[in-house]
Each structure stands twice: as structure tokens, then as C-alpha cells.
Amino acid sequence: MSNQVKNIAILGSTGSIGTQTLDVIRWNSNLFRAFLLTAHSNADLLISQAIEFVPEYAIICDQSKYQEVKQALAHLPIQVLAGHQAIIDTVTHPEITVVLTAMVGFAGLEPTIAAIKAGKDIALANKETLVVAGDIVTALAKQHEVKISPVDSEHSAIFQCLVGEDNNPIEKLIITASGGPFRGRSLDFLANVTREDALKHPNWVMGAKITIDSASLMNKGLEVIEAKWLFDVEADQIEVIVHPQSIVHSLLQFRDGSIKAQLGLPDMKLPIQYALTYPERIPTNFKRFSFTDYPNLTFEKPDLETFRNLSLAYTALKQGGNMPCIINAANEIAVAGFLDRKIGFLTMSSIIEECMQKINFIANPTLTDYLNTDKETRIFAQNYIQQLPSKALQF
């Protein structure tokens, strides 16, 4: 790599991806500097991160915690700001090299767009950005000659498999899924699972929202939509296959029938690091994979009847327009409702399907249309939950 240190803006530094990104920066301080750190509401962790890494900026979205963060960092040369707009304004700073977007959900869209318009390369961990407005985001990236490097392990795997294949069209993407904690379970079983059950992912350590999405297979549905925009393919070129060991992170099939796969132990720090160093690879002390430790790698079809979210995501992708935006917003409200014990696990799919049927469809949406669709869907989904009979809320 060049000797110039890359200034990294980490949007969502206190989440799972954000903290692991700081691990990568800590181990490679000769290559990277944490220039901007942002948190939604975790002031304590943001303060401790800022004290260690001394970024130029620390931003807390929750404005009620601004004074707490500002006072704690007053002895350091750090500009402390508050609010979502502060993030949108600051990601355009001329000294920032790469913006790693790890904010949860729809909140990552506007900062990512602002960074792209400012010519910043993007390390994309916020899949909702492309799910909601993939057409706008990819067009802007092309217009501003911005590189989008995926951080999701599955999309990073495909990204890595594409290296050296510039002139070879993709025939099919095969995205792997662990199957989550409820693989092989029936609808009757899922009707009674708790938030604690759903938060026990067998292979990955992730934030609460993405862990629930993984349990419901909505995470895989969102990844299918994201893949369409990242790799310029159609829905029928994307296959999902369940791979419980989470060693084969995804596969890429070419028109001659050849398949390339990227393998490795389930550790998000590798795709994070690759997104920051691409096209180069740098040494790591990560644990190495051994085939003898995994003599059986298995694959199976996903159960689309039991886990309807994946099927709903394919439907939204094929319909296009603002439909992926609708399912994303509906899912965020549904997951929050499940985590708050307001609804059952299976009710999440019902909420999403109801929103798909009731929210106004727009075939060629603008950014304003996407923002309005998101707001309208959230209100509808919240009202839907409030109107459910009380017996459906005992979870």
C-alpha cells in the first residue's frame, strides 16, 4: 500500500462492525487513522473510543447526550458535534479518505449519499442504503467515480471472486446463509420463540437488529437486493443456499460453468480490512481455516414457506420501484417490535406483507419519494402493531 495514512470515517463506531473496524485500525495504525467517529446513543463507548483514537470529530446522534460527550472530551483536540445532520455535513470533509458506513438501517442512506457526492470511497456495511435506493446510489457512485467496497461477508466474498474477471460476465451469484438459530424448525415452533432464542446466532457475533434479521432470513433477503445493485445482476441470477458452517461465504458462477468461492472462518474483521485495503491484502494474525477441522461442509435449499421474509424480498426486488424501500422500513419496525416483546416472531412477516400491499407503489421514485415512502411505511407498521389484539402481543 502507499505510505500515506488513510483517514477513515466510521459511521456507527459503537456497533459490532464499528468496534471491529477500530480493531483493524488499532492493529494497523501505520495505515489507517480514525478521523471521524459517530454513535447513535452509546455515549460511554463513543467517549472511550475517542479518548483512545483521538479523531478529529466525534458525533453523537442523540442530542440529549451532547454535553456529556463534549465535557468528557474537553481536554482533547476533538470537535464534538450532535445530531444526524452533523454526520451528513461532516462526511464531506476534504481530509477523509474512506467512509465506512455501519449505521443501522435507513439512517445510513443520506450520509452515504453525501459522502459519494463529495467523492469519498465507501466501505459499505449498511446494506439498507442499497436496498432502499440502490438505483440512485449506484448512479451517483458512477457519476462521481466513487468506489463502493462491500463489507458484508457475503458480498465481500463475491467482490473478491470478481478480481481478475473484468471481462467475464456473471452467470449466477450464489449467496450463502447460515440458516440462523431456527434452521429446520417448523412454523409451530417459530410461533413461540422469544427474543432471547432469536438472538443466539450459531456462528456470527452481530448487533441485535441484524441477528434478528438473520434468524428470520430477512438479512439474506436484503443481501439479495443489495447484490443486484453491487454487481449489476437480475433477481433470477441470484441464488440463496443454506450453508450451516458459514465457511463458504459466497460463490460466483461464470458462463462457462466454472464456480469461484471465497472461504474462511466467520470473522468480520477480514472483509472489513479488505474493504479498507483493496486491491491489496495486508498480513493478519487472524486464526486460519483448516479443512481438517471442517470435514463436512453442507448445503441445502432455504425453506421459503417457513421463512417467508426471503420470498418477500425476492418479490420486492422483482417488482422494483419503491417496494424494497417499503419492506426495509416495515422490517425495521417489525424487528423493533419483536425486540420490545410487542409482537411474535411470525408476525414480523405479516407486517411486512401488509405494508407491501397497502403502501402506495411508485415505479420510478426520486430520493424524496424514498424518504416519504420510508416515513409512511414506518407509521403504517407502527399503527398495525398497536391495533393487534392483545393476545398476539404476549412474547
Q: Is 41 marked as a binding-site residue?
A: no
Q: Give the distance from CA 229 to its chain's centroid.
A: 14
Q: Is 216 annotated as belonging to a binding site? A: no
127 belongs to an annotated ligand binding site: yes
**Cα 226–147–167 angle (5° rounding)?**
80
Per the confidence metrics, is the pTM higher than 0.85?
yes
Q: How many CB atoms lie within 10 A of CB 245?
A: 16
| 201 is known to lie in a ligand binding site | yes
CB 193 within 8 A of CB 182: yes
Whether 220 has a binding-site annotation, put simply, is yes
Is 40 a known ligand-binding residue? no
Q: What is the pLDDT along the chain (395 residues), one digit of tens a residue?
A: 666 899 999 999 999 999 999 999 999 999 999 999 999 999 999 999 999 999 999 999 999 999 999 999 999 999 999 999 999 999 999 999 999 999 988 889 999 999 999 999 999 998 889 999 999 999 999 999 999 999 999 999 999 999 999 999 999 999 999 999 999 999 999 999 999 999 987 666 677 888 999 999 999 999 999 999 999 999 999 999 999 999 999 999 999 999 999 999 999 999 999 999 999 999 999 999 999 999 999 999 999 999 999 999 999 999 999 999 999 999 999 999 999 999 999 999 999 999 999 999 999 999 999 999 999 999 999 999 999 986 455 44
Q: Is 168 annotated as a binding residue?
A: no
Q: Is 249 annotated as a binding residue?
A: no
What is the per-residue burial (b if ≥16 Cβ within 10 Å, else e) of 190-223?
Answer: beebebeebbebebbebbbbbbbbbbbbbbbbbb
Any binding-site annotation on 369?
no
285 labelled binding-site residue: no
| Dist. CA 360–CA 382, nearest whole Å | 17
Q: Cell for 114?
A: 453525501
Binding site annotation covers 236? no
Cα separation of 264 and 271, whole Å?
10
Q: How far apart are CA 27 and CA 16, in angstroms?
A: 17
Cis amide leading into 279 (omega within 30): yes
**Residue 128 annotated as binding?**
yes
Flag whether 153 is marked binding. yes
246 among annotated binding-site residues: no
Annotation-wise, does 152 bind a ligand? yes
